[in-house]
Amino acid sequence: MTASRPTVREVDLAEGVALAREGYRVIDVREPAEWDAGHVAGAISVPLGDLPARIAEVAPDPDLPLLVHCAVGERSGRAAAWLAERGHRNVVNLRAPIAGWTAAGGAWEAPRTDLTARERRRYARQLLVPEIGPVGQRALREARVLIVGAGGLGSPAAMYLAAAGVGRIGLVDDDVVDESNLHRQVLHASDRVGARKVDSAELTLRGINPALELVKHDERLTEANAERLVAGYDVIVDGTDSLETRYLINDAAVRLRRPVVHGSVHRWDGQVTTFAPGGPCYRCLHPVPPPSELAPDCAVAGVVGVVPGIVGMLQATEALKLVLSTGETLAGRLLVVDALGATFDEIRVARDPACPACGDGER
C-alpha cells in the first residue's frame, strides 16, 4: 500500500486575513516581480522554486503555523502540499485571488515607486544616464546583491554598488582584518585590524550610503549553506580566492538560476566574466580544479593592490548591468586584464553540453 498524501487545509480571503491577524506566518511564493508590485504586509517572499533551499530559514519549526499564497492558489497549493509532506503540521493554502486581500480587510504593502527628494539629489548625475533614469534607480533600490568575500575584490565591488544605490547587499565573510590586507582591501582601515571583516565593511559602507540595507553573513560559504545564501539574492558577486568556494557558488547558482559575476587576480593579472542562467558556467570554464601549484592564492603568489581594484570595479559594473537589464554582459566571454602591459584581452567561453552543472543532462 502507498501512504496517503497529507491533506492541506484551504481557506478563502476572509479566513486568510483572520489567520494572518492571529499570527500565522505568511509565505508568498510568487515571483519577485509579482512581489515588487505589492504584497501582504509582513509576508516573506519565497518564490516557489526557492522553497526547498530556504525552508530551514523561513519555517525551521514544523509546528509553526503557515499561510501560503500566490496569485490565485495554484502554486501555493503545490507549495503547501510539499511542506505538509515534509512534516509541517499546520500549513494552510489561500485558495483565492490575492488581488482581493485589501478588500477583505488585510494589510497590504504597496511598491515604493517614487524616488524621494534625497534620492533625486544623491543620484542626480546617475539619473541623467538614459539606461538608468528614475525607473532604473528604483530597480537598483529594490535589488539584492550577494558578495562572497569582503577582501580585495569584494571591497571595490561593495563600495561602488552601495554608492550606486543598490538597496540590499549581503556580505559573506568569516575572517578578521589583518594588516596584510590593507594594501588592497579598501573596505578596511588600520584601526580595525583584528575586527570582523563584515563589521569593518559595515562602517565603510554605511559611511558611503546610510540608506543601504547591509546583511552581514559572518560565516564561510560551504556546501551546507551555499543554497541558503544564494537563494535570497538576485545577483551573486564571487570575490573569493578559494577554488572550492567558487565551485560551490557556481553549483548553487546554476540550480537556483542566479547569475554570478566572477573575478580572480594573480600578481598583475586579473580575469572577469559573468555566468548567466543557461550557461556557460564556471565548470564549463574549469571542468576540474587545477593543481594548487598552478592556481595559488594571493597569500602565496602575491598581488598588486590596484589589480583587485580594477577587477572588483568591473564586477560591480557587470552586476549593475544585470540589475538594470541593460548593455552587454560578459556572459560567454572571459575578460583578461594585464595591468603590467596595460592590455585587455577577451576569450570566448562556450557552454559544455556535458557539463555536470549546466549541461544538457542536467536540464
What amino acid positions are annotated as catalytic residues?
A: 298
Rounded Cα distance, 275 and 132, in Å = 23
Residues 265, 298 contacting (CB under 8 angstroms): yes
DSSP of 325-359: T-S---BTEEEEEETTTTEEEEEE----TT-TTTS
In this structure, what C-alpha cell is assigned to residue 128? 541623467
Q: For 221, phi and psi rounded to 5 degrees?
A: -70, 125
DSSP strand E in 6-130: where?
9-11, 25-28, 39-40, 44-45, 66-69, 91-94, 108-109
In this structure, what C-alpha cell is assigned to residue 89? 503540521
What Å distances lie between residue 39 and 65, 70, 259, 312, CA to CA? 19, 10, 25, 35
Q: 14 in the Ramachandran plot: left (φ > 0), alpha (ψ -120 to 50) or beta?
A: alpha
Rounded Cα distance, 121 and 285, in Å = 43
Rounded Cα distance, 309 and 268, in Å = 11
Give the ranges where 4-67 is alpha helix by DSSP (H).
13-22, 32-36, 51-58
Q: Where is 269: in which H helix or E strand?
A: strand 269-275
